[in-house]
Amino acid sequence: MTDAVVCCLITSEPNCARRDCPDRALSISIHCLSGCVRMADPVTLRIDSSDLARGLSDLERKQLPIATVWALNDTAYAILAHTQSRMDRVFDRPTRFAKTAFMVWRAKKSTMTAEVKERPSAGSRHFLKVQEGGGTRPRTGLEGFLQGKLRGGQAAVPASGAKLNAFGNWSPAERKRATNDVTGGPVSGNGRTRYFVPGRGSRLSLGVWKRHGPKRKPKLTKVLHFTTAMPKFRERLGFYDGAEMTFDVQFPIEFTKAFERAIATAR
């Protein structure tokens, strides 16, 4: 019995040593090599090719590289699909931005490496990195706008009176109106509605409040709460663990299909 051998390794190369680092890029690479070499935790796939004994060296030379590329890319897309599916389970109404945050960098015969990584537009954000590694999240863009109103270590989170969109996030329209009001930006919308941050000594709790309703008896509704500390998150995205699990299960399947396809199309 003769075996065709492909050695593969799934790796991550974070740009920060700590798992909870907010600058850690979420990315995995699947490398396949021309020979079986000793590496840390390699995944070795051996295919029973007894029925292909004749001309096997030719298949290795001509068909094995393209079959490996196909298997790498199909496995990478399986990892991407698993990550997106997991978001639906662990997040509350994930946005399209979150679901499309990862991309596949396809393998070629010249590289023998496929990658699943954050898109540049998502990589500059911190939310997926914090959901992966856990820990205290950095300041958001909203908190940057409100830095003159927030005290050291405070965070801004929607209060019960905030208008939310379909994904459970603060409505962009109300967010824009509120930040304009409290930071001295241009005023728009209903002149009877105003947003403000209570001054020191006020009986109102810290945050952004909305004054609305009749001029003589206006209503006060809290739309944004200033917390006493930055929020902390537990690990729940599971990108790396899910990628390794999917690779272990899916790559042998994809390689077998790709190898059979390569043999069938050999000339």
Cα 76 to Cα 216: distance, rounded to the nearest angstrom: 62
Element (H, E) at 99: helix 96-99
**Whether pLDDT at 255 is above 80:** yes
Condensed to tens digits (0 to 9), the pLDDT of residues 153-166 reads 788 888 888 898 88
Same domain for 176 and 131: no
- Stated as kind and residue range, the H or E segment containing 123 is helix 120-123
Listed residue (170, 166, 214, 172) closest to 190, CA to CA = 214
Sequence-separated (6 or more) residues with CB below 8 Å from residue 115: 27, 28, 29, 30, 76, 104, 105
How many domains would you assign to the chain? 2
204 and 130 fall within a common domain = no
For residues 66 and 119, membership in a common domain is answered with: yes
Provide the 10 A C-beta neighbour count for residue 106. 14
138: its two tokens: 């950095």
What integer pLDDT is reported at residue 82 of this predicted model? Answer: 93
Q: Are residues 62 and 167 in the same domain?
A: no
Does the pLDDT value for residue 81 go beyond 90? yes
Whether the predicted model's global pTM rises above the 0.75 cut: no
Q: State whether 120 and 162 are in the same domain.
A: no
Reported as a single tens digit per residue, the pLDDT across 17-32 is 444 454 556 676 766 6
Is the same domain home to 48 and 105?
Answer: yes
Domain enclosing residue 171, as ranges: 138-226
Same domain, yes or no, for 79 and 202? no
Mean pLDDT of the chain: 76
Which residues, other chains included, contact 95 with Cβ-Cβ below 8 Å and sequence gap of 6+? 167, 169
Report how far residue 193's alpha carbon sits from residue 215's, in angstroms, rounded to the nearest whole number: 10
Do both 144 and 260 map to the same domain?
A: no
Percent of the chain surpassing pLDDT 90? 13
**Which pLDDT belongs to residue 80?**
93
Cα distances from 92 to residues 86, 95, 122, 232, 246, in angstroms, run 11, 9, 18, 17, 23
Q: Same domain for 18 and 119?
A: yes
Distance between CA atoms of 116 and 120, rounded to whole angstroms? 12
Same domain? 110 vs 193: no
Identify which of 224, 126, 220 has the alpha carbon closest to the alpha carbon of residue 183: 224
Residues 80 and 192 grouped into a single domain: no
- Asked if residue 182 and residue 242 are part of one domain, the reply reads no
Phi-psi region of 142 (alpha: psi -120 to 50; beta: other; left: phi over 0): alpha
- Per the model's pLDDT, the better-predicted residue between 21 and 49 turns out to be 21
Output the pLDDT for position 192: 75
CB distance 127 to 231 below 8 Å: no
Range ranked top by mean pLDDT from 70-84, 113-127, 174-188, 203-217 = 70-84
DSSP 164: B
Res. 138 pLDDT band, cuts 50 70 90: confident
Q: What is the pLDDT of residue 263?
A: 84
Cα-Cα-Cα-Cα torsion 180, 185, 186, 190, nearest 10 degrees, comes to: 30
